[in-house]
């Protein structure tokens, strides 16, 4: 069922014990929105726990209340009046899905491909980030944002908009950011923290760029991290941005082998709707940024994704 923001606030106020969760492979928006909502609900006197079932990048560890993030354990059954799923759909929350089976679910998201299966959903596909939605929710809940909560929200908005460079940046996005600065956010400190990379990641970028391939008369560019190279690279965060900026490239993508027959794909676009590509392969996301997983050997996955992107480019002409 699709909800209005007032109904979301009503359900949050009615619940006493709440679990907040977000997607695996968590980014700044997933972590920022989770911690911001955690702090807001705590301010309302709620009993709140945050679960994110995956490794979180070190450059997000300085966010306020980061040490309150937990992971579920196999066979664990969690108790709550309400489970709030942020920045994703039900099937991407890892083991938290099994640990909270049977509990009431509330989903807050901004991904256009989220169809709200099995949950009550608040979806604003025009919002630049889930953190932008949580910012608006704070007003409905009448929770005053302190500097720490504002920093969590700003981090999610800034990272999901490429620090306000991407096409998803709206006037309301910038107005929200301005109010967060008024609440005490120091944007230079956020950007400095988010942009930090260990030397190994910089070396990994150099290795990844050696795999660069250009397709379809320069309209697509791909990076290919096979199983052997994957062992040398700790994180691929930001790799796709290295090729997204190539002149003439409409679709940039990264294929990352995670296991023998399992690959992950990230896509960025200037004109093509990559959410449709991702959806056909069981994934999702936004018109200009999407991803999916392919259960196939690396070389086969490479053919599958390049063919799908080629078809999308041809259909867009």
CATH code at 44? 3.90.1640.10
Residue 200 pLDDT: 87
Residue 207 pLDDT: 94
27-31, 157-161, 236-240, 242-246: least confident range:
236-240
Q: Which of 165, 195, 225 is the last residue of a domain?
A: 195
Residue 160 pLDDT: 96
Q: Based on the domain organization, do 105 and 228 belong to the same domain?
A: no
Does 75 score more than 90 pLDDT? no
What mean pLDDT do residues 101-124 have?
A: 94
Closest by Cα among 226, 139, 213 to 179: 139
277-302 pLDDT per residue, tens: 999 998 888 899 999 999 999 999 99
Does 146 score more than 80 pLDDT? yes
Q: Which of 195, 226, 242 is the last residue of a domain?
A: 195
**Angle formed at CA 50 by CA 240 and CA 139, multiple of 5 degrees:** 85
Q: Based on the domain organization, do 191 and 70 belong to the same domain?
A: yes
Q: Based on the domain organization, do 215 and 262 belong to the same domain?
A: yes
Q: Based on the domain organization, do 15 and 84 belong to the same domain?
A: yes
Does 316 score more than 90 pLDDT? no
What mean pLDDT do residues 69-74 have?
A: 92
Query: pLDDT band for position 101 (50/70/90)?
Result: very high
Q: Based on the domain organization, do 271 and 203 belong to the same domain?
A: yes
Q: Based on the domain organization, do 219 and 253 belong to the same domain?
A: yes
Q: Based on the domain organization, do 212 and 305 belong to the same domain?
A: yes
CATH of the domain at 206: 3.10.310.30
What mean pLDDT do residues 247-253 have?
A: 97
Distance CA 6, CA 314 (A): 43
HSE-up (13 A, CA, CB side) for residue 17: 6
Q: Based on the domain organization, do 213 and 273 belong to the same domain?
A: yes
Does 96 score more than 90 pLDDT? yes
192-231 pLDDT per residue, tens: 999 998 898 899 999 999 999 999 999 999 999 999 999 8
What mean pLDDT do residues 243-255 have?
A: 96
What mean pLDDT do residues 175-198 have?
A: 96
Mean pLDDT (the chain) is 95
Q: Based on the domain organization, do 254 and 307 belong to the same domain?
A: yes
Q: Based on the domain organization, do 174 and 43 belong to the same domain?
A: yes
Residue 121 pLDDT: 97
Beta strands 213-215 and 220-225, pairing class? antiparallel
Domain region containing 216:
199-316
Assign 3-class secondary structure to the chain. Answer: CECCHHHHHHHHHHCCEEEEEECCCCCHHHHHHHHHHHHHHHHCCCEEEEECCCCCCHHHCCCCCHHHEECCCCCCCCCCCEEEEECCCHHHCCCHHHHCCCCCEEEEECCCCCCCCCCEEEECCCCCCHHHHHHHHHHHHCCCCCHHHHHHHHHHHHHHCCCCCCCCCCHHHHHHHHHHHHCCCCHHHHHHHHHCCCHHHHHHHHHHHCCCEEECCCCEEEEEECHHHHCCCCCCCCHHHHHHCCCCCCEEEEEEEEECCEEEEEEEECCCCHHHHHHHCCCEECCCEEEEEECCCHHHHHHHHHHHHHHHHHHHC
More confident residue, 91 or 212: 212
Distance CA 78, CA 221 (A): 44
**Angle formed at CA 120 by CA 114 and CA 123, multiple of 5 degrees:** 45
Work out the percent of the chain whose per-residue pLDDT is above 70: 100
Q: Based on the domain organization, do 152 and 269 belong to the same domain?
A: no
Q: Based on the domain organization, do 68 and 167 belong to the same domain?
A: yes
Q: Which of 147, 167, 195 is the last residue of a domain?
A: 195
Does 21 score more than 90 pLDDT? yes
pTM for the complete prediction? Answer: 0.91
Closest by Cα among 50, 46, 43, 49 to 142: 43
Query: pLDDT band for position 264 (50/70/90)?
Result: very high
Beta strands 284-285 and 289-294, pairing class? antiparallel
Residue 192 pLDDT: 96
Residue 74 pLDDT: 85
Based on the structure, what is the number of domains in the chain? 2
124-138, 207-221, 231-245: least confident range:
231-245
Does 317 score more than 80 pLDDT? no
């Amino acid at each position: 069922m699709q909800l209005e923001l007032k109904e979301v606030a009503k359900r949050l106020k009615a619940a006493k014990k709440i679990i907040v969760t977000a997607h695996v492979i968590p980014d700044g928006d997933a972590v920022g929105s989770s911690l911001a909502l955690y702090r807001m609900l705590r301010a309302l006197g709620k009993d709140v726990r945050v679960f994110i079932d995956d490794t979180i990048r070190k450059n997000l560890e300085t966010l306020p209340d980061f040490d309150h993030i937990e992971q579920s354990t196999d066979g664990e059954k969690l108790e709550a009046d309400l489970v709030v799923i942020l920045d994703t759909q039900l099937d991407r929350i890892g083991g938290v899905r099994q640990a909270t089976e049977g509990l009431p679910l509330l989903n807050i998201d901004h991904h256009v491909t989220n169809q709200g299966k099995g949950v009550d959903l608040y979806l604003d596909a025009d919002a630049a980030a889930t953190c932008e939605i949580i910012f608006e929710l704070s007003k409905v809940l009448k929770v005053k944002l302190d500097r720490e909560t504002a920093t969590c929200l700003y981090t999610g908005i800034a990272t999901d908009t490429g620090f306000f460079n991407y096409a998803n940046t709206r006037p309301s996005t910038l107005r929200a950011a301005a109010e967060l600065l008024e609440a005490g956010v120091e944007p230079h400190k956020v950007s400095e923290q988010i942009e930090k990379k260990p030397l190994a990641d910089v070396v990994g970028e150099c290795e990844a760029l050696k795999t660069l391939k250009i397709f379809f008369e320069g309209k697509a560019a791909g990076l290919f991290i096979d199983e052997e190279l994957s062992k040398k690279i700790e994180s691929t965060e930001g790799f796709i941005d290295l090729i997204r900026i190539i002149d003439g490239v409409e679709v940039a993508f990264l294929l990352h082998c995670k296991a023998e027959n399992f690959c992950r794909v990230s896509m960025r676009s200037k004109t093509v709707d990559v959410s449709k590509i991702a959806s056909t392969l069981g994934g999702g996301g936004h018109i200009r940024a999407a991803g999916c997983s392919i259960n196939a050997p690396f070389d086969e996955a490479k053919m599958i994704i390049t063919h799908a992107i080629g078809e999308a480019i041809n259909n867009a002409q």
